[in-house]
Amino acid sequence: MSRPVALITGGGRGIGAAASKRLAEDGYDVLLTYNTSSKPAEMVVAEIRAAGNDALAVKVNCADGGEVGLLGIHPWMARGIDVLVLNHGAYERIAADEMTLESLRQTMATNFEGAVAVWKAVQPHLTEYARMVVIGSQLGTKGSPHGADYAASKAALSTWARSLAQAVGHEGKRVNVLAPGFVDTAILAGDSKEKRRQREQQVPLKRIGSPDDMAGAISYLVGPNSAYVTGAILHVNGGLYLP
């Protein structure tokens, strides 16, 4: 019970799963959330426990105020939350000129409002020097013609995170944004082989990023080597986008 606690939303798949395993290796007990499928999350928990560490998966729809409220009174909250990684999200490919207000509201409810809701529920339980990483996107800075609602939600999320960093810095808390480029997750699962090759050729490093690449950056942002970093947007994209 003496180990610090990391809470990772969307921790059962992709970047969240890799971050859960990496932070467990770094010495954290991991509380991870999932929404639609328990099996991948429980597999992550099993892998962490098999390595001699501890983790627990809980079902939370971050767009549902009731479920987020229950997260805020979870027994592990009594231990204090040292690290909060807001990783959950939804992505629908909707062209900017075809986006509806309803699709925008749905995406914002999950990606932006859901993240803020989780933070507000967890805020009373954050430890004195808590660190938070918000998973944004390169699209939140440069926009996207075919994912306008997603890009808008990530832009809002990043701006809120940077504002929060300014507000809580005097408390010793740090807030940073990780902005991935192409990452080998479910978002790219539908790519054809040709589309995959096209993406790889767009990246100066000539490969798609892995969830482990992102987990390493998260480990840095919550670790001692980034003690003077807050309010930053760390672009981890192989050189694909250089703002």
Residue with tokens 């990530």: 154
Radius of gyration for the chain, computed over Cα atoms and rounded to the nearest angstrom: 17
Alpha-carbon distance 131 to 163, whole Å?
15
Q: What does the alpha-carbon distance between residue 15 and residue 7 come to, in Å, rounded to a whole number?
A: 14
The identity of residue 206, as a single letter, is K
DSSP annotation of 117 reads H
Between the two ends of the chain, the Cα-to-Cα distance in Å is 42
Amino acid at residue number 25: E
Token digits of residue 28? 């954290």
Read off the DSSP letter of residue 209.
B
Which of 222, 61, 226, 162 minimizes the C-alpha distance to 154?
162
Rounded CA gap, 63 and 115, in Å? 8
Q: Residue type at 192? A: S
User: Does the annotation count 220 as an active-site position?
Assistant: no
131 SS3 class? strand
The one catalytic residue among 28, 34, 91, 150 = 150
The residues carrying an active-site annotation are: 150
